Amino acid sequence: MNEPFSPAALAFRDDGTLYSPRHDDIYHSAAGALAQARHVFLRSNGLPERWRSKARFSIIETGFGLGINFLATWFAWRDDTSRSDTLEFLSVEKYPFSADDLQRAHEAIIGDASIMPLADELVAAWPALAPGVYRLMFDSGAVALTLVFADIADALRQALALNVDADAIYLDGFAPAKNPEMWASANFALLTRLSAPDATFATYTSSGDVKRALVQNGFEYRKVRGFGGKRAMLVGKRASIREESLCDALT
């Protein structure tokens, strides 16, 4: 799928799920986009609890799509009286929707009136459909969304200059079998550099290639029950550096 940067086409399957003809894959589970975001990405990264101990909580996501994960996170953060002072969310996207299509997709998919005001703010702030880094500010600057419109590898390299230090990683880039570039081992090496030593991650996939890429790049994973009838998904964290390997490195 090594195509140039270009906008996404809005297409739905008969069951109402948003679909990518380019990748022949769906954007979210037929069992519900918001429920999937909450189960797979928030709860599996220990949210909301983990942001309560921090002044600034930072998330990096691979694949912004409709921004359902961002909206679910922003909503949960806003709703939490013990939240961090700020929420930083960086996401990469090579095939963004136009603002009009994003709005149509939100109206069709979100199905929760309390999230719609946030979705409308996102649409109103949506940048031009051109490669680049865009910083969108919400809630008087307490919530920052950085969108990097570029291919994943290039986007993660650009993010190295942005002081990211993610506490949580959302891996959400279409099925590895259909979109292997998104899951290349080199991208996980960049994610290691972009995340804090105690960073966690979650993803709906349990693909063997993803497990190998995670371990090769210093992550520990656990297989847990997936969402919406999926048997398994992966959750985990940056592996701690063992003292003996530190000593080895120092001698």
Ligand X SMILES: C[S@@+](CC[C@H](N)C(=O)[O-])C[C@H]1O[C@@H](n2cnc3c(N)ncnc32)[C@H](O)[C@@H]1O
Tokens representing 72?
């679910």
Position among 181, 185, 207, 209 found at the interface with ligand X (CB under 6 A): 181
Exactly one of 34, 40, 59, 68 binds ligand X (CB under 6 A); that residue is 68
110 token code pair:
């979100």
Does residue 66 interact with ligand X by CB under 6 A? yes
Range in contact with ligand X (rule: CB under 6 A) among 9-17, 62-70, 73-81, 113-121: 62-70
- Closest to ligand X by CB, 21 vs 245, is 21
The helix (H) or strand (E) run that includes residue 181 is none
| Interface pick for ligand X out of 92, 119, 168, 169 (rule CB under 6 A) | 92
β-pairing, 86-93 with 56-62?
A: parallel
- Contact call for residues 78 and 99 (beta carbons, < 8 A): no
Q: Is 116 exposed, middle or buried (0-12, 13-18, 19+ CB in 10 A)?
A: middle
Radius of gyration in angstroms for the set of CA atoms belonging to the chain, rounded to a whole number: 17
Is the distance from CB of 122 to CB of 67 less than 8 angstroms? yes
Q: Which of 17, 69, 73, 84 binds ligand X (CB under 6 A)?
A: 69
| Residue from the set 145, 156, 182, 234 that interacts with ligand X by CB under 6 A | 182
152 touching ligand X, by CB under 6 A: yes
Residues that bind ligand X in the complex, under the rule CB under 6 A? 8, 27, 61, 63-69, 92-95, 151-152, 172-174, 179, 181-182
